[in-house]
Amino acid sequence: MQKELAPAYLKELKVYQAGKPIDEVARERGLTKISKLASNENPLGPSPYAIREMTRGLWDLHRYPDMHAYQLKSKLAEIYNLKLENIILGNGSEGIMAYIARAFLQPGDEVLTCENTFIGFYILARSVGAKLQKVPLTEDYRFDVKALAQNISEQTKVIYIANPNNPTGTYITKSEFDYLMEHVPSHVLVILDEAYFEFAVQQEDYPDSMDYRYDNVLTLRTFSKAYGLSGVRVGYGFGHEDLISYLTKVKLPFEPNLVGQLGAVGALEDQPHLERTIKNNTKRYNELIAYLEEKNFQPIKSITNFVTIKTGSAEASDYLFDKLLDQGVIIRPLKANEMNEYIRISIGTKEEMKHFYEAMDAVLPEYDKKFGRA
Ligand SMILES: Cc1ncc(COP(=O)(O)O)c(C=O)c1O
């Protein structure tokens, strides 16, 4: 019965795999001290301003949220000098990707992107029957703008770029973005997923999409990463009002929820928390790179809050993941991203990173022997 109900393209679709939850690891392995370095979250937690606003909102939970999210949109409009009509909000940036799929993609439409990027988008595009055309990343693990430009066809409807990319942490530069836009016809929609924007914008040649004005570019950002609000699911998108009006038509009216809207407003008011977050990230990133290089890994240079390394085989990745779990450290194997031979480590607090280094020190002697690195 279910088989007949679902369209053919849903039958092959795999369910998204998230990072392993802390409670699950605690239960399975009988551990109490756990460091989750698996989902690129903010290890410092939410801003106290966000907590204050969300707590206040708890007394109003018998009410529906403001479906126009006036307060949050106004705040974003003020910061980015936009009109409310240029802003869409959703349950995380992934929620907005779902609106994009619903509004603009039909079975058979072609979506052009790269291999080894954010799987959530692949799943959403496939869930409405769109066809993914994926070109390989460059040798240095970056979106290949030349290959993308060469592969634009009559059928291309949407181009998806994660900048910076997850899971590689790499980015396309300003000149590469210019090159790409010179080759994209104006009827093709370009999604610029900037989930790690707040970390990336420190780079001089990083193209902040808000410095450009293209009617066919949609910017996606989130409160889940640098703002530390993954749990309440708030994402935002900026674009031409025509694009936004279509997304608004397919949007569920009360997303994001009441608590999320309030938390996001609080987070935007707490610049010092964001600065602390970036500062911790930069310091821990440098330490992590130094540690990994000392242990003879070659980390992919990242401008985000995570680092990916090559283990060399699927077996080595699984081994490291499993043995680190025994030590209470959750990292991310990248099988679902078709990067079996790699693992990803999110940057944590000083204490969490110490836990990671101690766990690695405990695991590496056997690992090195087993995988011929000794
Ligand atoms: C590149 C990228 N885009 C989007 C998301 C989804 O974020 P959100 O929590 O806003 O849905 C993630 C989360 O890992 C991501 O890495």
Cα–Cα distances (Å) from 41 to 91, 98, 226, 338, in that order, read 16, 21, 7, 22
Q: Could you tell me if 86 and 241 are in contact, meaning their C-beta atoms sit under 8 angstroms apart?
A: yes
Q: What is the pLDDT of residue 3?
A: 55
Rounded distance between C-alpha atoms, residue 33 and residue 14, angstroms: 32
Mean pLDDT value across the chain: 96
Which domains occur in the chain, in start order? Answer: 2-45+272-369 (3.90.1150.10), 49-269 (3.40.640.10)
> What residue type is 280 in one-letter code?
N
Rounded distance between C-alpha atoms, residue 165 and residue 114, angstroms: 10
Q: Which pLDDT band, with edges at 50, 70 and 90, does 285 fall under?
A: very high
Q: What is the pLDDT of residue 296?
A: 96
Query: What string of DSSP letters covers 202-258?
Result: TSTT---GGG---TTEEEEEESSSTT--GGG--EEEE--HHHHHHHHHHS-TTPSPH
Q: Which residue has the higher pLDDT, 18 or 263?
A: 263
Mean pLDDT to the nearest integer, 103-109: 96
What is the number of the ligand 1 atom nearest to the C-alpha of 222?
10
SS3 166: coil
Largest Cα–Cα distance of the chain, in whole Å?
61
State whether the beta carbon of 224 lies less than 6 angstroms from ligand 1: yes
Q: Could you tell me if 285 and 347 are in contact, meaning their C-beta atoms sit under 8 angstroms apart?
A: yes
Asked whether the predicted pLDDT for residue 1 surpasses 60, the reply is no
Q: Which pLDDT band, with edges at 50, 70 and 90, does 96 fall under?
A: very high
CB atoms within 10 A of CB 197: 22
Q: What is the pLDDT of residue 5?
A: 85
Q: How would you class 255 by CB atoms within 10 Å of its CB: exposed for 0-12, middle for 13-18, buried for 19 or more?
A: buried
Region of 329 please: left (phi>0), alpha (psi -120 to 50) or beta.
Answer: beta
Q: What is the pLDDT of residue 2?
A: 54
**DSSP for residue 18:** P
State whether the beta carbon of 270 lies less than 6 angstroms from ligand 1: no
State whether the beta carbon of 165 lies less than 6 angstroms from ligand 1: no
Rounded distance between C-alpha atoms, residue 325 and residue 333, angstroms: 12
Mean pLDDT to the nearest integer, 179-191: 98
State whether the beta carbon of 234 lies less than 6 angstroms from ligand 1: no
Long-range contacts of 5-12 (CB under 8 A, 24+ apart): 7/107, 7/129, 9/107, 9/126, 9/127, 9/129, 10/127, 12/126
State whether the beta carbon of 118 lies less than 6 angstroms from ligand 1: yes
Q: What is the pLDDT of residue 19?
A: 77
Rounded distance between C-alpha atoms, residue 257 and residue 234, angstroms: 8
Q: What is the pLDDT of residue 4?
A: 79
State whether the beta carbon of 255 lies less than 6 angstroms from ligand 1: no
- Mutate which of 39, 91, 93, 332 for ligand 1? The one with the most ligand atoms within 8 Å of its CB, which is 93
SS3 117: coil
SS3 5: helix
Q: Which of 155, 231, 237, 161 is nearest to 193 (CA)?
A: 161
Mean pLDDT to the nearest integer, 139-147: 98
What is the number of the ligand 1 atom nearest to the C-alpha of 234?
10
Mean pLDDT to the nearest integer, 200-217: 95
State whether the beta carbon of 117 lies less than 6 angstroms from ligand 1: no
What is the number of the ligand 1 atom nearest to the C-alpha of 224?
9
CA of 278 to the centre of ligand 1 (A): 18
In which element (H, E) is residue 111 found?
strand 110-114
Q: Which pLDDT band, with edges at 50, 70 and 90, does 43 fall under?
A: very high
